[in-house]
């Protein structure tokens, strides 16, 4: 089997297994092992349980990541938007040797739920993925300020911020990532920047997961992203405050990926697999 045949077979395996009841059951059990979150966790567990009972092969970000991690067995995982570690736990549970890079601003009471920070996430991973022997590196701050430095070695001019630690983390980062989650800034412009940053750094046969594939974005609530690197990105012409629109634009730009969407998820989700 040549390399292209291998990548095609991996894509077909992923497409066939997304929403598989066994993966949903395993996802459910890992989520149950994590700390209580009375705002969001009961509803998610109930939704997954209902899918198992109906055998309707429903899937969302956690079940998708478990499927991808199980099949790809990533050596490296980049996660933009970690919060309490629900997505990360799925990856670590089936890929215990993976090296993780987490980007998060750790906004207090994000989504009306406590957001305790990196040490809480480390403790959660020990509970949910006790066999994990890889490393977790936390890149604390705004992804639009950090990713261009971390991924592309671009340093802003004289903004008074010390990037020494981030530069040192970048020295040892993978050249390409086997698995990436983009679930941070929910403005259309911010998601556009994040996706443009990560897509060129995905390994052949690797995957990107984009959560909240909605036909709206946080610009509708008055949010606006900021970045000292804004001028390096192509502008969003005919701008729409829509995460779905951003995803469709990304699909037109990065034709070397195969795309899978699930608009029946909770919420809708997109997966991109690098084919060439």
* pLDDT (tens digit per residue) in 207-216: 999 999 999 9
CA dihedral 143, 146, 152, 158 (to 10 degrees): 140
CB 205 within 8 Å of CB 273? yes
Q: What is the largest CA-CA distance in the chain?
A: 57
The reported pLDDT for the residue numbered 115 is 80
pLDDT-based confidence at residue 25 (cuts at 50, 70, 90): very high
Fold for the domain defined by 3-274:
Rossmann fold (3.40.50)
Per-residue confidence (pLDDT) for residue 1, from 0 to 100 = 80
Domain boundaries, the chain: 3-274
Helix boundaries (H) for the chain:
3-17, 21-32, 41-54, 61-72, 86-94, 118-128, 143-152, 164-171, 188-198, 243-253
Q: Per-residue pLDDT tens for 165-210? A: 999 999 999 999 999 999 999 999 999 999 999 999 999 999 999 9
For 124-168, what is each residue's pLDDT tens digit? 999 999 999 999 999 999 999 999 999 999 987 767 778 889 999
**pTM across the whole model:** 0.96
């Amino acid at each position: 089997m040549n390399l292209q045949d291998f990548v095609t077979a991996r894509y077909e395996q992923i497409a066939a297994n997304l929403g598989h009841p066994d993966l949903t059951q395993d996802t459910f059990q890992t989520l149950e092992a994590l700390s209580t979150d009375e705002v969001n966790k009961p509803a998610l567990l109930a939704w997954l349980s209902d899918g198992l009972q109906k055998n309707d092969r429903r899937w969302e970000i956690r079940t998708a990541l478990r499927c991808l991690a199980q099949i790809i067995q990533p050596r490296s995982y980049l996660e933009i938007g970690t919060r309490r570690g629900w997505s990360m736990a799925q990856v670590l549970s089936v890929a215990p040797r993976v090296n993780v890079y987490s980007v998060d601003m750790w906004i207090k009471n994000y989504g009306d739920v406590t957001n305790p920070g990196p040490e809480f996430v480390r403790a959660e991973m020990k509970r949910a993925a006790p066999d994990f022997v890889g490393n977790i590196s936390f890149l604390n701050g705004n992804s639009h300020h950090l990713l261009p430095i971390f991924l592309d070695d671009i340093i802003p001019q004289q903004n008074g911020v010390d990037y020494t630690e981030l530069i040192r983390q970048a020295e040892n980062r993978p050249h390409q990532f086997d698995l990436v989650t983009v679930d941070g800034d929910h403005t259309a412009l911010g998601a556009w920047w994040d996706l443009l940053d990560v897509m060129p750094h995905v390994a052949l046969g690797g995957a990107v997961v984009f959560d909240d594939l909605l036909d709206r974005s946080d610009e509708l609530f008055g949010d606006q992203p900021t970045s000292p690197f804004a001028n390096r990105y192509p502008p969003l012409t005919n701008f729409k405050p829509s995460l779905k629109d951003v995803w469709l634009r990304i699909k037109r730009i990065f034709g070397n990926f195969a795309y899978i969407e699930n608009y029946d998820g909770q919420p809708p989700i997109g997966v991109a697999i690098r084919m060439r």
